[in-house]
A = this chain, B = another copy of it.
Amino acid sequence: MTQQDKTNRASWKQNPEAVQANILAVATEEFAEHGLAGARMDEIAARTRTSKRMIYYYFTDKETLYQRVLENAYRKVRMEEAALELASLSPPDALRRLVEFTFDHHCANEVFIRLVMIENIHKAKHLSGSELIAHVNASAIDSLAQICDRGRAKGSLRADISPLELHWQISALCFFNVSNRFTFGKNFGPELFEASGQQRLRTIIADTILTFMTATATD
């Protein structure tokens, strides 16, 4: 090693958090794009401002990195969702707003949707039951439960559907809209996924949920 070599090296500031955040951001894109098996550590490293060594330094191995990516994605998305304020609206209005918000939010977070799809392929093996995740998930159901409770009290929403079941329905419709647009579009045409089709689906989904939840129970 010569003197020349040493001076060629640029000087740097230590910034562990930024390095880790950078790795996580790049890895998120890469895993969302190619899946766990399809993603390449070399490719992630190349697109990072740091080196492959540092990925292993901070994240141990590929699977751990993937796990951290997944956890991080869930945290960010659930936080955003929890920020929605619904208490001031009437139960039906709050429900419609929640559905439309969920629709828009899923559309705007394809990366997250893809990570969830990928994790389902892996049978949710890597999805930790972390304290934080469990908490934000519970609060998602909770805010729906509040709408349901208020609706039941007023008689404006049917009471025989649990908040969990309602959440499941909303998720299904909004998730599928993003997750399956490629095969659905190729099989049945792209209309539904162009701007006007999406507008219509958004309304149809909200109407479907609202019509169902404001109907009287049949039994």
- A:162-188 near B, CB below 8 Å: 164-165, 167-169, 171-173, 175-177, 179-188
Does A146 belong to the interface (CB within 8 Å)? no
Does A109 belong to the interface (CB within 8 Å)? no
User: With A and B bound together, what is the CA distance between A123 and B183 in angstroms?
Assistant: 7
- A:86-107 near B, CB below 8 Å: none
Stretch at the interface among A7-15, A19-27, A58-66, A208-216: A208-216
* Chain B residue contacts of A209, Cβ below 8 A: 208
User: With A and B bound together, what is the CA distance between A191 and B215 in angstroms?
Assistant: 25
- A:107-159 near B, CB below 8 Å: 114, 116-124, 127, 129, 133, 137, 141
Q: Is the interface of A mostly helix, strand, loop or mixed?
A: helix
Cβ-defined contact, A123 with B182, below 8 A: yes
Does A45 belong to the interface (CB within 8 Å)? no
- 5 A-B pairs in the complex with CB atoms less than 8 angstroms apart: A119-B182, A120-B180, A120-B183, A172-B173, A176-B176
Known pairs A137-B187, A165-B200 / 20 extra A-B pairs, C-beta < 8 Å? A35-B121, A116-B180, A116-B183, A117-B120, A120-B182, A120-B183, A122-B182, A124-B182, A124-B185, A124-B186, A141-B188, A164-B192, A168-B201, A169-B173, A171-B176, A172-B177, A172-B180, A173-B176, A207-B218, A211-B212
